[in-house]
Structures are given as structure tokens and as C-alpha cells.
């Protein structure tokens, strides 16, 4: 999910190795052919995709943390199983995506090291805290809802392994948003305290979710090449509008108020929302969100504390190989 906001440029055609190859490549893209790992591709295409897919993967993995925060406190066994399965899915999605990125020639380990070193981005949304159980419902409803808007077009992305990973992700994710919305419905039909919890969660998540789609189109300079390469098929603002239009009636159904008093429906039926605080978005991307430090620290801790386990498995594999060779030599 989550990569829309992060697309950035390697898009200019400087350094393209060979104009003829580049023209053939673009012709294939224009003919809606898929590009596969061993095919010739411009270095900038490779770099853009490596960055986008790995950021997407990091987002899935970091995204496990805010929701994982509630697995041990889920309020019923049914909710607990669903949440554990959902967060596990996100791990799987990260894994599929790292594999897709690896087909472009960078190992998962390098990609992960870059993220742990703070050199790679992940979606800004995961730098906000999950304070109550209603946040779990809201994440499923809105964050996964926004993700689906972004991910469905990626199933037709020009790069084969990415598109295939996204098809699998979308298929698996179909229960995530429903899971979240069901939690919201239950809270909104529950006690006054529960309903207030739901409203408060919506108040806190609404604007950060709108930021997930990335900077407004006029400020987003790098979409052109991504569009030309069919990595990106809709602009940030198009997807954001689609999301808002889909969400307004859902909030109404829940009896919740979107925290934007100035919001109004225009003649085309689209819901016009108020100005987004892009300074907040910039600050969160720069590392100053409420949870940036905690998220990276948690991933580093898991990575460092897992090192001896990975080393043990590698050492055992070596030993076993050695023993087999020794046996064969006897």
C-alpha cells in the first residue's frame, strides 16, 4: 500500500544507456506489456521501482507495529484472532514486496539495512500512535481503505513482479477493511463511551490518512515519469478525492462526524475538503512524527536481537553441508 506519498524522482532520462533500447522499452510499456526482471530497463526505472517497492515493503513491516500494539489487548477472542491474522498478513505482504524488489538486483538485507539506518522512507501514517481499541477499527476502515485505493491500480503496474505481488496482496487484504469497519460499527452501536472512543479515533486519524496519498499534484513534481512508465496510474489528488467520496457516506452510516466542518459537496457530487496541513506531513516524513523514533527503535531491536538466531541457522546449514561432503568422501 502506502507508496503513493513517497514517489519521488529518478525520473529524468539522463544517463539512459542507449536511446534505441530506451525507445523499445517505452514502446513495450505503451503497448501495455509487462517488464520482467531480466529484461533490459533504464537505470532510472530500476532505481525508481527499487525505491518504491522497498518503501512499500518497509511500510508493511513498520505498519505491523501500531496494530500489533493491540493484539495482546484485543477485547474478544474473535477480535484477537482476526487482528493477529491481519497483522500477520502485513508481514506476508512486506515479504512478497521485498521479494519483488529483490528481482531488481538489491538484496532484502540491503533494503532492510537502509530502512534501519533511517535512509529509506516508509508511509508517514505509521508514525501515529494507536491509543485505544477504536484506533484498530479506524486503521482497518480508513488506512486500509486508502491503501486499497492505491493498491488496486498497482496490480496493473508495468513491472511484472510488483504487479503480481500486488494482486496477491489485494486478494488477501480484502478482509482487512471489512474487519476494521465491523469494529467501528460495533463501537458506534455500543455504549456512549465506545461511540466517543470511535469519534475520537476518527478525529485523530482523518487528516493523517488524507496525507497518505501524498503531496497535492501541483507540488508533486515527479509523477510524470512514473506515469509514463505506468508505475503510477492516478495522481495523488485523484486518489485522495476518490477516497474522500467513498468515505463520507460510510462515516454517515456510522453516525460519526468527519473533523472537517468546512467540507461540502460540490455540483459534481465530489466532497471538497479543507486545506491539509502539509507542514505536519513534512515534519512526520522528516522524522518528527509522534512515533518515528519508537518505530525505528522497535524494528532495530527485533533485527539486532534476531541476529544470533539467523547466524545459528546459517552456521548449522554450513555444518550440515560440510558433514554431507565428508560423508560423500568416505
Partner 1 sequence: MATPNTPLWEVFIRSRNGLAHKHVGSLHAADATLALQAARDIYTRRGEGLSIWVVPSNAITASDPSEKGMMFEPAESKIYRHPTFYDVPDEVGHM
Partner 2 sequence: MAAANIEVSETPLVLYALRRADDALILGHRLSEWCGHAPALEEDMALANMGLDLLGQARELYSYAAKVEGKDNDEDKFAYLRDVRQYRNLLLVEQPNGDFARTMVRQFFYAAFADLYWRAMMASTDPTLAAIAAKSEKESAYHLRHSSEWIVRLGDGTEESHRRAQDAVDHLWAYTGEMFAVDDSERGLIDASIAIDPAALQPRWLKTVSGVINEATLSLPSNNWMQKGGRSGSHSEHLGHLLSELQSLQRTFPGATW
Contact residues: partner 1, CB under 8 A = 36, 38-40, 88, 92, 95-96, 99, 102, 107-110, 112-113, 165, 168, 172, 303, 307, 310-311, 313-314, 316-317, 320
Work out whether 192 is an interface residue with partner 2 (CB under 8 A): no
Binder of partner 2 out of 156, 310, 321, 324 (CB under 8 A):
310
Alpha carbon 29 to chain centroid, angstroms: 24
Binder of partner 2 out of 21, 27, 286, 302 (CB under 8 A):
302
Going by C-beta distance under 8 Å and a sequence separation of 6 or more, which residues neighbour residue 132?
197, 200, 201
DSSP code for 231: S
**Min dist. Cβ of residue 65 to partner 1 (A):** 20
Work out whether 91 is an interface residue with partner 2 (CB under 8 A): yes
Q: Which does 113 bind (CB under 5 to 8 A by kind): partner 1, partner 2, none?
A: partner 1
CA gap 135, 275 in Å, rounded? 24
Query: Cβ distance 249 to 269 under 8 Å?
Result: no
Give, as ranges, the residues between 240 and 269 that touch partner 2 (CB under 8 A): none
Closest to 128 (Cα-Cα) out of 280, 302, 250: 280
Sequence-ordered strand ranges (E) for the chain: 264-265, 271-272
Binder of partner 2 out of 38, 191, 218, 279 (CB under 8 A):
191
Measured CA distances, 222 to 9, 184, 216, 218, 309 (Å):
5, 37, 12, 10, 41
DSSP calls for 102-151: HTTT--HHHHHHHHHTT-S---GGGGS---SHHHHHHIIIIIHHHHHHHH
Binder of partner 2 out of 19, 31, 77, 329 (CB under 8 A):
77
Work out whether 73 is an interface residue with partner 2 (CB under 8 A): yes
Closest to 121 (Cα-Cα) out of 111, 108, 109, 130: 111
On the CB side of 142, CA atoms within 13 Å amount to 31
Pattern of binders to partner 2 over 108-137, x per CB under 8 A? -------------------------x----
**Min dist. Cβ of residue 244 to partner 2 (A):** 28
Identity of the residue, 155 or 185, whose beta carbon is nearer to partner 1 in the bound complex: 155
**Min dist. Cβ of residue 107 to partner 1 (A):** 5
Work out whether 190 is an interface residue with partner 2 (CB under 8 A): yes
Measured CA distances, 95 to 60, 77, 85 (Å):
9, 27, 15
Q: Which does 168 bind (CB under 5 to 8 A by kind): partner 2, partner 1, none?
A: partner 1
Identity of the residue, 13 or 110, whose beta carbon is nearer to partner 1 in the bound complex: 110
**Min dist. Cβ of residue 174 to partner 1 (A):** 11
Q: Which does 36 bind (CB under 5 to 8 A by kind): partner 1, partner 2, none?
A: partner 1
Residue 245 is placed in which grid cell? 467520496
Query: Cβ distance 71 to 87 under 8 Å?
Result: yes
**Min dist. Cβ of residue 122 to partner 1 (A):** 18
How many contiguous H segments (helices) and E segments (strands) does the chain have? 13, 2
Identity of the residue, 286 or 313, whose beta carbon is nearer to partner 1 in the bound complex: 313
**Which spans of this chain sit near partner 2 (rule: CB under 8 A)?**
61, 64-65, 68, 71-73, 75-81, 84-85, 87-88, 91-92, 94-95, 98, 133, 183, 186-187, 190-191, 193-194, 298, 301-302, 305-313, 315-316, 319
Amino acid at each position: 500500500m502506502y507508496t503513493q506519498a513517497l514517489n519521488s524522482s529518478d525520473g529524468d532520462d539522463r544517463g539512459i544507456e542507449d536511446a534505441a533500447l530506451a525507445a523499445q522499452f517505452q514502446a513495450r510499456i505503451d503497448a501495455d506489456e509487462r517488464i520482467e526482471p531480466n529484461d533490459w530497463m533504464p537505470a532510472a526505472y530500476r532505481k525508481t521501482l527499487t525505491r518504491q517497492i522497498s518503501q512499500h515493503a518497509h511500510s508493511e513491516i513498520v505498519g505491523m507495529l501500531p496494530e500489533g500494539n493491540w493484539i495482546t489487548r484485543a477485547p474478544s477472542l474473535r477480535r484477537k484472532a482476526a487482528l493477529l491474522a491481519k497483522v500477520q498478513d502485513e508481514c506476508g505482504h512486506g515479504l512478497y514486496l521485498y521479494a519483488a524488489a529483490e528481482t531488481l538486483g538489491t538484496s532484502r538485507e540491503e533494503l532492510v539495512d537502509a530502512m534501519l539506518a533511517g535512509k529509506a522512507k516508509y508511509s508517514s501514517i505509521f508514525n501515529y500512535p494507536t491509543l485505544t481499541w477504536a484506533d484498530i477499527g479506524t486503521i482497518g476502515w480508513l488506512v486500509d481503505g486508502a491503501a486499497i485505493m492505491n493498491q488496486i491500480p498497482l496490480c496493473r503496474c508495468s513491472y511484472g513482479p510488483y504487479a503480481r505481488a500486488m494482486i496477491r496482496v489485494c486478494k488477501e487484504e480484502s478482509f482487512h477493511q471489512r474487519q476494521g469497519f465491523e469494529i467501528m460499527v460495533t463501537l458506534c452501536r455500543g455504549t456512549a463511551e465506545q461511540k466517543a472512543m470511535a469519534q475520537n479515533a476518527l478525529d485523530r486519524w482523518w487528516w493523517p490518512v488524507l496525507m497518505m496519498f501524498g503531496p497535492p499534484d501541483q507540488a508533486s513534481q515527479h509523477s510524470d515519469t512514473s506515469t509514463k512508465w505506468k508505475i503510477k496510474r492516478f495522481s495523488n489528488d485523484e486518489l485522495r478525492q476518490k477516497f474522500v467520496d467513498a468515505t463520507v457516506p460510510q462515516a454517515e452510516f456510522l453516525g460519526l462526524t468527519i473533523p472537517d466542518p468546512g467540507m461540502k459537496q460540490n455540483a459534481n457530487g465530489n466532497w471538497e475538503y479543507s486545506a491539509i496541513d502539509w507542514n505536519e506531513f513534512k515534519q512526520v516524513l522528516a522524522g518528527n512524527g509522534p512515533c518515528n523514533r519508537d518505530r525505528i527503535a522497535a524494528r532495530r531491536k527485533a533485527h539486532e536481537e534476531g541476529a544470533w538466531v539467523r547466524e545459528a541457522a546459517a552456521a548449522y546449514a554450513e555444518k550440515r553441508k560440510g558433514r554431507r561432503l565428508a560423508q560423500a568422501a568416505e
